[in-house]
Structure 1
Amino acid sequence: MKYFILFITCLLFLSASLPEVRSAEPTRLPHAQAAAVGMNPQRLSEIDFVVERGLARDSMPGAVVLVGYKGKIVFLKAYGYRQVKPEKRAMTTDTVFDLASLTKPIATATSVMKLVEQGKLKLSDPVSKYIPEFAANGKQDITIYQLLTHQGGLIPDNSIKDYLDGPETAMQKIYDLKLYYKPGTRFAYTDVGFIILGDIVKRISGDSVHEFSQKNVFQPLGMQETGYLPADELKQRAATTQERDGHWMQGEVHDPRAYRLGGIAGHAGLFSTAEDLAVYAQMMLNQGSQNGTRVLKPETIDLMTRGYPVVDDIRGLGWDSLSRYSSNRGDLFSPRAFGHGGFTGTAIWMDPAQDLFVIFLSNRVHPDGKGSVNSLAGRIGTIAAAAITGQSAATAEVKVASKDSLDVLTGIDVLKREQFKSLNGKRIGLITNHTGLTREGESTVQVLNDAPQVQLKTLFSPEHGFAGKLDVSKIGDSTDAKTGLKVFSLYGKTRTPTPESLQDLDALVFDIQDIGARFYTYISTMGNAMRAAKQQGIKFIVLDRPNPINGIDYAGPVLDEGAQSFVGYHRIPVRHGMTAGELARMFNTEMQIGVDLQVIKLQNWKRDMYYDETGLTWVNPSPNMRSLNQAVLYPGIGLLETTNLSVGRGTDTPFEWIGAPWLKGMQLAEALNRSGLPGVRFVPVEFTPESSKFSGELCGGVNFIVTDREQFQPVQTGLEIAIQLRKQFPKKWETRNFNRLLGNQRVFDAVLQGESLMQIRSGYQQDLAEFGVRRARFLMY
């Protein structure tokens, strides 16, 4: 527990810091040149004052501080002594430090994520799958994810007596431990959990966490001074910690349990230098690659470092996250920052949004264990972030669209430019609607009908019809007036193309703009059509289009197994962060459809783009999806429309407000504004729908004002609204149909039972993290 207390205290101070990098290997710059990359040298020099004051107060005998910004080392300096007893030895920038709990993320969690990336384990796997003897005493259901996020039900530290008879006996006693609490119900920082993770690395790979991390992380990155059990030359440069058995520990692990385990453990034992750690930090900020060497995929870095609610805390996978501290109040760090601390007096923080990392290494436990560096390390992080010039450290990342970013080409644009080579000589059916347009506004129907050597034989339309104007439960077949082709409705008597409609076709082509939410039915139409194409033995081609609410963010509960329906086609979260083409690849593999699939990719689209950054013309995808703002809100607000609420259908601004004759808008708005949801404010309103639910009735309601699109979390917002509706209007709000679009019984029950948003989100984070692993296989951009 002492490690956890120290680390959290360090985090609270250090959280006023740090930003993202995608450049080459860090290059050391003279301090006077720091200004060339946008750092204020005078501000950085304040680090000297802070550290010198710490030395004067005996906070530690010495330290090394390194600051990296935009791929450059802008500050590197040694202070004080690496040893004061039995004689003094000066600290140098190449001093080797016992990293203590930095071992957890840098060696162990990175190794685990490498195994996840290789498909050798899943985050949702129970530990007992790899260590059967661990299942003793009710521990059979503890998962890898729960260990990585410190909510596996294990004691923080078992007795040191358990380690006195050697590593083999010590591990057996760990396997035999009883549960400390019910897994998944608490956050309790634990060394034991990471000892187990280190053991899992060995069970799967055959290599200890030391050997595995060397082969797969440190050696590929050229980190020659990082590892367990440092060699004699490195030991000579190591900072001394404390006395053990009559000798001073220098290059020998300080943690007593790691020492008894032979110096190699998942929770402690790693040694390194500041400049070696800078290489690792740069790799993390470069989304997994460094100096031409890729260690992890970008998707794995994102998965590892995003903030996961774990009951009343926020964690990354092995990392601590600053997400829970982010707000709109002007802090110095970004919500994307992550890091960790170590008991011996070490800390590392990285912020991808500002291209900044801060490394603080000390031997604060030397000579008597009484040193304390919490606030000192925190102030250094604050100074580093504040030294960034040209912006306040609180400034959100501002994306300036380049010319390329305004020239996004959709699948039909690319197909046309390539002279339809994928369709030449083929008889095709086209699944489309009014959103099937080229960049210049030409109809995909007309383009393919006019294309030489392409035989457009028939058309198919989804929900809302071929023209996208109908909001009815069933739509009949029709004829396209311009081409004379029959339009088979896939939202009428059948929602799947019939064998008769596919006769004499060589391929089915899909070109419809999705909206980015699981229950938007166009992707279900696509999945059904893929199955029909497989059964008919014809090819399926997706002309891809952007995810209008960006392709990075995915959120919300994953659909329960067995809950699949037309508004929940596959086990994906409410917001999936994928394009239609990527979803087609996922459906084809995971649902074992097995159709001959081709995706005509977008060009110039980047995953962080919203639709207004593509340069493409917005076309309402459906009658009540009339703006990008409504699309951004939809994954959260759409969840509520199966209940006795109006979500604004029948008004000019659907999904931008909710209401009901029984709802007191001021009461609900006050409660929601108090909740602290990021990037949104709530305004009480009254409105009268002209059609749909509560047509002609005056409704009290709440209007949603998105104040910061980058911070706004629509699914989180929708769930908080449900929580407050249940709390404020328990007898008025009807919940029996709420789970229809939510699709997750556990979350539905939690809302009814009055759990907090943090508790609810923590309940589905393991499934969401596992989706992140699944999703990564199918991403194309």
Structure 2
Amino acid sequence: MKKVVLGIEKFRDRPPSWLRKAGIGLLANQASVDPSLKHTKNVLAELVGKNLRALFAPQHGIRGQLQANMVASGDEIDPQLGIPIFSLYTHKSRIPTEEMLKDIDILLIDLQDIGTRAYTFATTMGLCMEAAAKCGKKVIVLDRPNPIGAERTEGNLLRENLRSFVGYCCLPMRHGMTIGELALFFNGENKIGVELEVVPMEGYRREYLFSHTRLPWVNPSPNIPTPDTALVYPGQVLLEGTNLSEGRGTTKPFEFFGAPYIDSLSLKRGLEQRNLPGVTFREISFIPQFDKWKGQTCQGLQLHVTDPFTFKPYYTSLAIIQEVIKRWPEEFAWRSPPYEYVFDKLPFDLITGDEDIRKGLEEGRDLDAIEATWRKELEEDFMATRQRYLLY
């Protein structure tokens, strides 16, 4: 299996001739490292010295220490480099201002995405591209692998009325693109018009899971500790819009799920009757140390992905929610707003990007029939559009 060479490695080894003449900004976090675990900010500091003018931090902060959903970070000064770190996740705004961009000519973006529309780093990238276009700045995206594979797609497309920080662009939940391909997609489909360059990887294949890349894994956010977590996330993120614990406050976020009102064995039997592909379930008991049901004993299940190439995370988690609604209709509830700075829409609708998904679950519609409602636009419309922006 060929070694995967990251965008940052190619940029470091073959720096453009103009590099030392330009003011550089970097959007990154703790997972922005090369294969030796050297941070991209330090790679750039060695390349350009004081021309590295500013760092920009996505949700969770530049070091990835903050929890999710409206836990804001503030601006600070990098203690090593003495340059500003601008937070792009605050209560006031999540878009870089003209003042933040004034000293830079080029914004480099080096973020590890996890292949899911609701993961907020892609939104931050898109908003940065918009701001750069308005200010006449160039954007360069240093590409990284999609850890859950860049072949498969799944889920309904985002509806225009449900755009939010967890839904920047008309994508399915599992979009099957790398962060660099997403940048090209955003620039074209959202008509951003920024001067954009993507530094592609070498040796990367679309079917690769993260384990195939032979690269070190650094959790891109506090509750994505492993590539296994990333694999279930396109479905299990839906639980954030319910009163089910998605496993935050445990050692297996998104793999563990449950609530005090759940009967693990009953739920397991119901899910097993569905013959869901590529996954099995194990009965568990857990006590979340923070977030939903903190300090209370929850009964639930752990997802064990047995075949990542047939596993359908979005369909699987819809099945989980449907089984819970069927068995515990009085205890189950949709989470109330606010969610990611939206105060007037149900979080579940923001996450799925289509109110009809929730309504179908509430009405007990056949899940295959719900899936059929999005299959045509996914397989025909989206896939044809997506193809124009693929690099691998």
1:75-110: CA deviation from partner (whole Å, max 9, x where unpaired): xxxxxxxxxxxxxxxxxxxxxxxxxxxxxxxxxxxx
3-state SS of paired residue (1:500): helix
State the secondary structure of the residue aligned to 1:451: helix
On the 8 A contact 2:164/2:350 being kept in 1, the answer is no
Matches of 1:569 and 1:680, distance apart in 2:
29
Counterpart Cα distance in 2 of 1:463 and 1:417: 29
Aligned residue in 2 for 1:683: 282
Partners of 2:371 and 2:50 in 1: CA distance? 49
Picking from 660, 664, 668, the partner of 2:267 is 668
Aligned to 2:75: 477
Looking at structure 1, the residues matched to 297 and 49 of structure 2 have their Cα atoms a distance apart, in angstroms, of 57
1:700 to 299, 322, 327: 299
Task: State the Cα distance separating 1:455 from its structure 2 match.
Answer: 1.4
Cα distance per residue 1:196-233 (max 9 Å; x no partner): xxxxxxxxxxxxxxxxxxxxxxxxxxxxxxxxxxxxxx
Query: Mean alpha-carbon deviation: is it higher for 744-753 or for 616-625?
Result: 744-753
CA distance in 2 between counterparts of 1:731 and 1:549 reads 35
Tell me if the contact between 1:426 and 1:454 (Cα under 8 Å) persists in the aligned partners.
no
Please name the residue that 1:529 is paired with. 128
Q: Which residue of 2 aligns with 1:410?
A: 6
Residue from 86, 89, 104 that aligns with 1:488: 86
Matched residue, 1:775: 386
Match of 2:351 among 741, 748, 759: 741
Given the two structures, how large is their TM-score scaled by the length of structure 1?
0.48
2:54 to 458, 482, 489: 458
User: Contact 2:11–2:199 at 8 Å: present in 1 too?
Assistant: yes
For residues 740 and 686 of structure 1, the distance between their equivalents in structure 2, rounded to whole angstroms, comes to 29
1:585-607 per-position Cα deviation (integer Å, ceiling 9, x unaligned): 11111111100000011111000
Asked whether the 8 Å contact 1:747–1:763 carries over to 2, the reply is: no
- The one-letter code sitting in structure 1 at the alignment partner of 2:36 is E
Measured after TM superposition, the shift of residue 423 of structure 1 is 3.1
Other-structure match for 1:582? 181
Q: How far off its partner does 1:454 sit?
A: 7.6
Deviates more, 1:732-741 or 1:667-676: 732-741
For 2:48 and 2:124, the matched residues in 1 are separated by 28
For residues 259-301 of structure 1, the C-alpha deviation after alignment (integer angstroms, 9 at most, x for no partner) is: xxxxxxxxxxxxxxxxxxxxxxxxxxxxxxxxxxxxxxxxxxx
The reply to whether residue 758 of structure 1 matches residue 354 of structure 2 is: no
Match of 2:325 in 1: 726
Contact 1:682 1:705 in 2 (8 A): yes
Provide the rounded CA distance (Å) in 2 between the counterparts of 1:678 and 1:539.
Answer: 44
CA distance in 2, matches of 1:690, 1:652: 10
Post-superposition CA distance 1:696-729 (Å, at most 9, x none) = 0001111111112222111111111122122122
Aligned-residue offset at 1:657: 1.5
CA distance in 2, matches of 1:423, 1:715: 42
Tell me what 1:391 maps to: none
Alignment partners' CA distance in 2, 1:718 and 1:594: 36
Q: Which has the greater radius of gyration?
A: 1
State the Cα distance separating 1:774 from its structure 2 match.
0.8
Structure 1 residue 469: Cα displacement: 1.2
Helix, strand or coil: the match of 1:541?
strand
User: Does the alignment pair 1:568 with 2:164?
Assistant: no
- Count of residues paired in the alignment: 377
1:173-217 deviation per Cα after TM superposition (whole angstroms, max 9, x unaligned): xxxxxxxxxxxxxxxxxxxxxxxxxxxxxxxxxxxxxxxxxxxxx
Q: Does 1:444 align with 2:47?
A: no
Contact kept? 1:551, 1:577, Cα under 8 Å: yes
Alpha-carbon distance in structure 1 between the residues aligned to 2:140 and 2:84: 20
One-letter code aligned to 2:220: P
In the TM superposition, residue 746 of structure 1 has moved relative to its aligned partner by 2.1
Distance in structure 1 (CA, Å) of the matches to 2:208 and 2:241: 30
Q: Which amino acid aligns with 1:485?
A: I
5+ residue gaps, structure 2: 335-345
- Is 1:425 the counterpart of 2:48 in the alignment? no
CA contact (8 A) 1:425 1:454 kept: no
Q: 1:455-509: CA deviations, max 9, x gaps? A: 1101100000010111152111112111111100000132111100110311111
Counterparts of 2:125 and 2:19, CA distance in 1: 19
For the residues of structure 2 that align with 1:638 and 1:453, how far apart are their CA atoms? 40
Deviation, structure 1 residue 452 = 4.2
| Kept in 2: contact 1:415–1:421 (CA 8 A) | no
Q: CA deviation at 1:649?
A: 0.4
Q: Matched residues in 2 for 1:422 and 1:721: separation?
A: 53
2:245 corresponds in structure 1 to: 646
Tell me, which stretches of 5 or more residues in structure 1 are unaligned?
1-401
* Corresponding residue for residue 110 of structure 2: 511
- Tell which has more relative contact order, 1 or 2 (C-alpha 8 A, sep 6+): 2
Q: Which position in structure 1 is the counterpart of 2:340?
A: none
Residue aligned with 1:626, SS? coil
* Structural mapping, 1:4-43, within 5 Å: none
Secondary structure, in 3 states, of the residue corresponding to 1:730?
coil
Contact 1:458-1:485 at 8 Å conserved across structures: yes
1:500-547 per-position Cα deviation (integer Å, ceiling 9, x unaligned): 011031111100100111010000000000000001001011011110
After superposition, the CA RMSD in angstroms is 1.3
Tell me the SS of whatever aligns to 1:732.
coil
Aligned match of 2:343? none
1:421: how far off?
A: 4.0
Give the distance between the partners of 2:173 and 2:15, measured in 1 at CA: 37
User: Do 2:25 and 2:54's aligned partners in 1 also have CA atoms closer than 8 Å?
Assistant: yes
Paired residues of 1:429 and 1:460 also in contact (CA < 8 A): yes
After TM superposition, list the pairs within 5 Å mapping 1:52-201 onto structure 2: none
CA contact (8 A) 1:679 1:711 kept: yes
Residue 281 of structure 2 contacts residue 304 of structure 2 at CA under 8 Å; is this kept in 1? Answer: yes
- TM-score if structure 2 supplies the norm length? 0.94
Rounded Cα–Cα distance in structure 2 between residues aligned with 1:623 and 1:756: 35
